[in-house]
Structure 1
């Protein structure tokens, strides 16, 4: 089982002050499925079990066997466990040693069919490697950065895993200013063979803590799952911008009640904006997540 993934868009570039990179010809789609999109959650190792229990009590699902592994190319040791819920998958890390650079700020891990080809494609679409691809006992991994400083991990298994499809696909929540938004969207959609399903240039800022303001809200779907890009002035109140993933549920009130009973704190009470009800919670160990349902 994967330890570093378990264990680890044309947009109008003239609107951006960043020069458009020279992209290569269209490349293959290396995605496998949204159930293999794992949010990377780093928690203090002494709060590891409490966090995992709280997350499962909130969303349901199962876990892999917990273990202690070296998940980086340099010496380190972390507790690690995969949590598979109907609303999304997370890889949990509780390092027992200092966390080596550049790990700890990658938001997600994406399973790909060919790690070398996927990394080459990402680079041709404007990403840069934060480190070169490295092996692990069951596959290979890389960490890339997209325009705007969006860090992601790409990973490959020697033996492909088999996870059930999700009941609801979570959103990778990206917060950017106009300086980088178009460059990021072009890069990601080109690499991921993604489709922009909505681009609201006058969405309510209430969804991201800026009531009375309008923001650009871009929804993107691909074989890697869902993504929502918020383009704003960047003057975000706590805790917005700290939430990397948004989870879709059928009953927000009931889910928040489960989260509270399991030790999570509601940081932002439900707000109705942009055709959804949305709230933000913080789980034991510090993980901040958005949870929403259709309004």
Structure 2
């Protein structure tokens, strides 16, 4: 009996600390978002294809660019071409490294502007993210890279001088592909941090959305001050190029947009198709950037 009591007591002591991190992640935190026009998809392209990518992106979506420059944007020694492309359908930060890319840069999908750098990182950690790198200064502010459950990598950034970008005509979607093992942890963590609202949670969406026409998937649409997010939950057995499309861009006329894109050297990887209430296609820009483009279906 003494041995049994000892084992029970040991189990209770061992189990008790597990609840603490969960409670910490559930702690309410402030909303540090600024607006979706300040969300930038990070696009890494070979230096030789930098200008061609920028030209093709502007030709496809319109908009303007910042002045191109060469900077050290990492805390360790490096050099990259860098330029912002600001379009009515979304903004991209383009990098064409002239040196090897230091770890862990290159696999962060999005950059989110926040009002308070240190507080935002602390809030993300409370909601289940981890820091991939300690906060560091860049030429115009401060940055940190974080990772959410499921390996979803993001940048959080803050500018010394507050930027002022024109609001978007259409807000792009951050497209996240996960398995059921981790989807709920990611969704709970992200919505808690971002003060996100689950707009829809379709448990039996058609699998052709992710190239699996014979299967059903879960699709979760989330909106927050950081913009839109679409989470696809599947078995992960996705045919190429599904899962490589980090961002989905909404346009008023898909056919017209694709015509401009192909004229600028963009390759159509998945032909336009009707999926739910939208027409959608997946394309690859010069330099290798893969994106989804969609428009509402005409009824």
Q: Which segments of 5 or more consecutive residues in structure 1 lack a partner in the other structure?
A: 1-19
Identify the residue that residue 212 of structure 1 maps to in structure 2: 214
Q: Which segments of 5 or more consecutive residues in structure 2 lack a partner in the other structure?
A: 1-20
| SS of aligned partner of 1:258 | helix
- Contact 1:207 1:278 (8 Å CA) reproduced: no
Larger Rg: 2
| SS of aligned partner of 2:22 | coil
Instruction: Tell me the TM-score normalised to structure 2 length.
Output: 0.91
Identify the residue that residue 105 of structure 1 maps to in structure 2: 107
- Contact 2:56 2:285 (8 Å CA) reproduced: yes
| SS of aligned partner of 1:21 | helix
Aligned counterpart in structure 2 of residue 122 of structure 1, from 124, 128, 151: 124
Decide which moves more: 158-167 or 130-139.
Answer: 130-139
| Per-residue CA distance 1:32-61 (angstroms, 9 max, x = gap) | 000000000000000000000000000000
1:95-244 to structure 2, matched below 5 A, reads: 95-244=97-246
RCO higher in structure (CA 8 A, sep ≥6):
1
| SS of aligned partner of 1:50 | helix
- Contact 2:26 2:192 (8 Å CA) reproduced: no
Number of positions where the alignment pairs a residue of Structure 1 with one of Structure 2: 277
Measure the CA separation in 1 of the matches of 2:26 and 2:213: 40
Tell me how large the CA RMSD over aligned residues is: 1.1
- Contact 1:207 1:271 (8 Å CA) reproduced: no
Runs of 4+ in structure 1 over 3 Å off: none
Measure the CA separation in 1 of the matches of 2:205 and 2:26: 33
- Contact 2:73 2:139 (8 Å CA) reproduced: no
Identify the residue that residue 80 of structure 1 maps to in structure 2: 82
Measure the CA separation in 2 of the matches of 1:44 and 1:21: 42
Instruction: Tell me the TM-score normalised to structure 1 length.
Output: 0.93
Measure the CA separation in 2 of the matches of 1:21 and 1:235: 30
- Contact 1:206 1:271 (8 Å CA) reproduced: no
| Structure 1 residue 294: Cα displacement | 1.2
| Per-residue CA distance 1:100-155 (angstroms, 9 max, x = gap) | 00000000000000000000000000000000000123211000000000000000
Please state which structure has a larger fraction of its residues in helix. Answer: 2
| Structure 1 residue 24: Cα displacement | 4.5
